[in-house]
Structure 1
Amino acid sequence: MSIVNLIMINFFDYILLAETFISQSNCYLGQPNVIWLHLISDAVITLVYYVIPILLVYLIRQRQNLPFKGLLILFGAFIICGGTTHLMELWTVWDPAYWLSGSIKAITAIVSVYTAIKLYSILPRIQNSPSLAGQEPLNQELKSQIEECILAEQSLRKREQRWKLALQGANQGIWDWNPKTNETFFSSRCKEMLGYDENYDIGNYNHQWWTHIHPDDVDQVIKAMEDHLAQKTSYYVQEYRLHCNDGSYKWILDQGQAL
């Protein structure tokens, strides 16, 4: 066996066995109350110091967007080291492993210093980060806006339902043209009036609609629509003929208003 291995074995034996030291229980002979005071205090502190990191891990897992997670993990490691030092205090009551206890305290000291340095380095970020109390008015305002949007959407749906019922009662077809995108929507009733099935694709763009207008009526329809878009008329109103599914033309009254 090499000299290095012998030195290492003797070193760990010296730390763990520590036969040259006296246990704390021998120091407090005749003072059982003092021994129990230390035992109970260190036991409670050890338990709490091990529970706190578990709670920190649970908090981090529950709040994925929690800021400064690394610092919380470092605090957890620092607290675990502190709990381990108190656990060693319990051990050394009966077993004078003071070298092991001192080594753990040294590790705790290193972790403590590193935690303090890390905390100091990110203090400006913590100070500049918005507090939960400061974000509360913003959250309330956002919540209020969301509630208003929901109420507005519900009101819009109700009005849309009433509008559809009114159109169905009036037995009228509707179409809607967006001049910016040139997209056009045709209701099922509008297609039905021309003899088409509701699934028939008239076309999604306005120029496709023009192909259904009688050639003799196209110019007047275009002029009436241009006058209305130029705000020369309050409403768009025009009578013209549309091509039906059976090949015939049907006179319709077309009216609307630009919004």
Structure 2
Amino acid sequence: MSDLFIPHGHCYLWNTQLVGLHLLSDLTIAIAYFSIPLTLFYFVEQREDLPFNWIFTLFGAFIVLCGTTHLLEVWTLWHPVYWLSGSVKAMTANRVRHTQRSCWCRLIPQALKLPSPAQLEAANRELQQQIRNRELAEAHIQQLNEDLEARVAARTQELADSMNQASDLAERLSLAIESAGLGICDWNITAKKLSGIVITKYCSIIDQGRSLNTLTKIGSVACIPTTSLE
């Protein structure tokens, strides 16, 4: 089918300067078009965290097709492959239409939700203030913690000293009780001995009293008849 057409150079009457102008222009545009997607793809690879990095892929695809159309413009200067050139242009138009629809339906709503530089700056200032407040709070908490540890250490030392004093007092009290117990035991033994002697003497006196009382009664009875006889 290409044989039915003539090369595009015939339209320029094969004017060397005119053909050269179109040749260099289309080649330069094609090279520029092919270099842009490489830059976009590199950017997407380095920034995978972007919320809409898919748009760079769409732009890269249709830019490659645009570069291909310019290469075919160079090729058709000598080869009348206009059907191929037209097909690539149709593919480019379809890709551009798809990219434009994606921009309006997906990219623009997401981009409008992005904060402005002023909002980002205000949020950054607020974040810095929160960081400073948090650092101050952490420093205050650290100081309180150190004070608490010091107080606990002091109270622990005081408690240890009190326990040592109580232990010493308990030991002294135990020794005093032990000594007092020995004294009480000695006193009980002595008291028992003394009480035994006193009771024995008391019982002896009582017995003597009873004997004397009995003798007195007997003597009184013996004296009565003598008086009667007289």
Q: Same fold (TM over 0.5)?
A: yes
> What 5-or-longer segments of structure 1 have no aligned partner?
1-13, 165-171, 176-186, 195-212, 215-239, 250-259
Cα distance, 1:67 vs. partner?
A: 2.1
Report the AA paired with residue 114 of structure 2: P
Alpha-carbon deviations, 1:182-226, whole Å to 9, x = none? xxxxx6x998x69xxxxxxxxxxxxxxxxxx79xxxxxxxxxxxx
Amino acid at match of 1:138: A
The letter of the residue matching 1:20 is: L
SS of equivalent residue, structure 1 residue 131 = coil
**Aligned residue pairs: how many?**
168
Equivalent residues in 2 for 1:19-34, closer than 5 Å: 19-34=3-18
Matches within 5 A, 1:59-208: 59-122=43-106, 125-126=109-110, 128-133=112-117, 134-146=119-131, 149=134, 152=136, 174-175=151-152
Let me know the Cα RMSD of the aligned residues: 3.9
Partner of residue 235, structure 1: none
The offset of 1:122, in angstroms, is: 2.0
CA shift, 1:108, in A, is 0.7
* Residues in 1 aligned to 2:128 and 2:70: alpha-carbon distance in whole angstroms: 48
Q: d(CA) in 2 for partners of 1:142 and 1:39?
A: 56
Match of 2:34 in 1: 50
Question: What are the Cα deviations for residues 21-42 of structure 1, in whole angstroms up to 9, with x where unaligned?
Answer: 2112233235222212211221
Relative contact order, CA 8 A, sep 6+: which one is greater? 2
AA of the residue aligned to 1:102? G
Q: In 2, distance between residues paired with 1:157 and 1:36?
A: 78
Alignment CA distance shift 1:157-1:59 (3 Å):
farther
Q: Whose radius of gyration is greater, 1 or 2?
A: 2
Deviates more, 1:68-77 or 1:20-29: 20-29
CA–CA separation in structure 1 for the residues paired with 2:155 and 2:10: 102
Q: Secondary structure at the match of 2:162?
A: strand
Deviation at 1:147, TM superposition (A): 5.4
SS at match of 1:241: helix
* Paired letter, 2:127: L
Comparing both structures, which one devotes a greater share of its residues to strand? 1
Structure 1 runs (4+) greater than 4 angstroms displaced: 147-150, 153-160
33 and 76 in structure 1: CA distance in 2 versus 1, 3 angstrom threshold: same
Structure 2 CA distance for aligned equivalents of residues 119 and 108 of structure 1: 16
- Answer 1 or 2: which has greater helix percent: 2
- What is the SS of the residue equivalent to 1:122? helix
- Taking the aligned partners of 1:242 and 1:173, their CA distance within structure 2 comes to 20
Query: How far, CA to CA, are the matches of 1:156 and 1:173 in structure 2?
Result: 15
Shift in CA distance, 156/54, structure 1 to aligned 2, threshold 3 Å: farther
Instruction: State how 1:10-21 maps to structure 2 within 5 Å.
Output: 14=1, 18-21=2-5
SS in 2 for 1:64: coil
Q: Structure 2: which 5+ runs fail to align?
A: 169-230
String of CA shifts for 1:68-95, please: whole Å, max 9, x gaps: 1222211111111111111111111222
Change (3 A) 1:68 1:123: closer
**Counterparts of 2:17 and 2:121, CA distance in 1:** 51
1:241 aligns with 2:226: no
Task: From 2, 16, 39, give the equivalent of 2:23.
Answer: 39
Q: Write the distance in 2 (CA, Å) between the matches of 1:173 and 1:126.
A: 56
Q: 1:30 to 1:109 in 2, by over 3 A?
A: closer
**TM-score, with normalisation over the residues of structure 1?**
0.51
